[in-house]
Structure 1
C-alpha cells in the first residue's frame, strides 16, 4: 500500500523539513464555530459514517474530534457523508507522525512572516495579491501574520505553504499544526530519576540522572515491550494516542480479555511498565515517558511455547526494546545455605532461539535491546540461562546509598545496575554491609479501577528488586535510541556501559571492585547514567 506523506517546513527556505503521513484509518471532523460537535455527531447520517469507530482525541477549543475507523471502513464515503451535514465545517484525512502514529491536526490557518526590510504597506499589498486574508497580525515578530486562503482546504495547505516559502520576500510559512500536549513531570519523591528530598527531609543523591536527560530526549518514537503477568492499560499514565501498541495476551484461555489483569494479584506488570514509560501526567513518570508501551501478558511456566512466541511477537510487531522482570526460582537472598543458590537453570532452545531472533532481526536488522532483571537471590547470575544469555542485558539493583542492593544477583554476565529499593541485613559480615534504607522503594504505577488499592490510589511507593531495575534500564535505552535511532543493538549496549557511574564502597570486598575492563561482579559496568548515555549517543550521531 502506498503511503502518502505531506512535507512541512517550520524553518526558513533552506531548513530541513519534516514529513507527516496521511492516515488511512483516521478521520477528523470539525464543526462550524459555536456548534456542539458532540451533539452534532449524534444524528443518523453521522452515526452511519462513524459506525464502529472510536474517539481518539477531542480538541474542544478547535471544535475538532479525531476518530479511528474500522479497518474495513470506506474513508472517502465516510468523508462524503459527514460533509453533507451543514453544521460540519471540515471532514477529512488526518496526518499522523510516521514514527508514533499520533494524530497531528492542521487548520486552515497559515503562519507567514515576511522578511524584516519590507514595510507594513508592502506586506499588505503582497497578501492581497496572494489572495490571503489576515486573521491576526502577531505582536511577537516583525511582518508576521496568521492568514487564510479561502480556496485552500485540507492537506493542500501543506504544499501551498511550501510554495510560498520559495519566495525571496517570505522568511517563514507553514500551516498551523496542532499536537496534543501532555504534562510529563518527574514527581518529587522519584529519587531514582533525580537528586531529591524524601520523607523526613532525607536527601538522596543516588539517581540514574534521568531528569537531566529529559532535556534532550524522553523516548519519543521508541516502543518498549514489557513481558509480564498483566497490565492495567486503562491507567491514566498509559493513556494517549499511540501509547499502547501491539498489546497481546499469550494466555490463550483468557486471550479475549487482552493484557489486562483478571484479579488484584496480577499487578507486577503494571508497576514494571510504569517504571519504563509511565506518562508522568498525574502521579509517576517513567524513565522514558514519551515511549510507547507494548504490553505482552505471559503467565505460562518458564520454557513454555508461549514464552518464545512472546519474544517473536515483540520483534515482529515493531518493539525496539524488550523488558523482562522475571526468571527462574531463586534462593532466599539472606540465607547463604539455601541450595537454590547454586542451581543452574538452562534456557529452553525454543526461548533461546526466539531471543536470538529478536536480538538480531528486530528493528529491521538493527536488533532489539533485551533486558532481564539479574535476579533477587543474592546469587550468581551466571547460573540463570535467561539473564546470562549473551544477547541479553542483565540488570542488577543498587540502592539509595550508591551501593549494591543486598538481594541483587552478581557475576560475569551482569551488565549494569539501576536504582531500586533495598533490604537491611542484621549480620555485619554480610556483603555488602547495608544500613537501613532511606526510601521504601520506587514510586510507580499500580492497579487502578476496580482493582485499585484505596490507600495507594493507583500508585505504589514500594516497587523494588531487579524487577524495578530492569524496566528502568530499558527506559534509559529508549532515551538513547530516541536520541540516535540509527544505533544498532551492540552500539547501544556499549553506550550504556560506557556511560555508567562507578559506584560502590571499599568494604564491598573483591566482587565489588572494578577490573581493568571496568567491570565489577557486583555492579557490572556501574550504575546507569542516562544523561551521559544520551550524550554518547548524540556524539555518534554527529560523526
Structure 2
C-alpha cells in the first residue's frame, strides 16, 4: 500500500483511501481566507478548524469531476497565500467518516537520540517549530513546512521505520459528534434526582440527590468545565456571584463568550443545567448547583491541537471536573499520542496537582465502546459485515466513561456499553443512532420505530 494510504494512530496502522473529488488547503493567515476561496478553481464546501479557529483553518474544496482533482490541487499548492494542500481521506474500516490532514506531526524519539541528531533529522525532512509534548517522554510536535518534500502521513510512515523513532503521528481532524439532545424544553419533573415512585418509575432509579445534599450542595471553589457546543451564559439558572469562571469560545470567535449562535446550539446549555443550574426557585436545579461553571465552546472538530488547547485551558484555570458529553463522529476512533497525553495530563496534574475528574459520554449507538459487531440492515448499507467499534475518548484508562439507564432501571436503548464503562446514569430511552459526516444522523440498525418505555 502507498505510504500516504496508511496512518499511524495510537500504535496501530490504519488503512486510508483518498476521496475522489475533495481536497483541503490551509491559508497562510486567516486574513486571506476569502481571497483563497475566490481564487481556487473548485467549490469551497466549508471551513475545518484546526485547534482554535483563528489560529489555523483548512478550507475544504470539491471539484465536479475526479479528473480535475490533481490539477486543482497543484494550482492551489502554487499559490503564495496557501501554506498547505492535502487530499481528503476516509478510513477504509470506518465508513462514513472523512479524515482531514493538518500540517503538524508528533514524533517520539528513543532515549539514545541526542538533541543535535534530532534537529538534524527533522530539519532534513522540512519539519520546523519544535514544541515539547508535555506528558510523554522525548516527544515533540513539529510543523510540516513548505520546504518539506512529502506530506505528513508519508513523513510519519518513513520515520516509524527507523530504530531510533518510537512513534510518529500526523495530526488528523475528524468531525465531532454530540451526545443525545433532549427534546423537552424544560425539565419540570426531575425524577432522576430523587423520586418516591409512580408511573414509569422503578424503585431506586434516581441518584438519591437529597441524601447527597445533606452532605454538600457544592462550593464555588469546585469548578466544573462543561465542554460542548455552547452555553447560554445569560440563562437565569447560571447567574450568581462567582458562578461563571474562565469562559472560552474555541469555535466561533475565539473569545470569552461561548454563547449559542445557531438554533441547534442547545446541548451544552442542557448539560450545564443538569449539573450546575442554580437553586433559584425557578427553572430546574443542578445536582451540584453550588459549584462554579467553566463554560467552553468546542470547535466541533477533533484534532490534536484542539484537544490540547481545550484540556490545557481547563487545567491551567483550575477546573476540578471536565465534562465532555460528546465523542468522535466515527465508528472506530483511536486517540493519537497527543490526545492521550492531554487527557492523562488533566487526570494526573490538573486540579493544582491533585488531578481532574475527566468524564466522557459512552456514546449513543447501542454498540460496544470497543469490540466487533457483524453489522446488517443499516440505512444505505453504510455499515455491513464484521465492523470494529472503538470510542477512543471513553476507552481512555483515566477517563470516567458514563453510559445511560432509564427510569425503569434498565439500560437505555441508545446507550453504548462495554468494559470501559465506569458509571451508568439516568437518562431517557431514545432510539440509538450515530452522526456520521457522510450521512448525517442515521439510526442504528435494527431501526426502532416505536415508542420506548421510560420517562424523559
TM-score between both structures, scaled by the size of structure 1: 0.41
Greater share of residues in helix: 1
* Structure number with higher strand proportion: 2
Q: Return the structure number with greater relative CO, CA threshold 8 A, min gap 6.
A: 2
State the TM-score, normalizing by the size of structure 2.
0.48
Q: Which has the larger radius of gyration?
A: 1
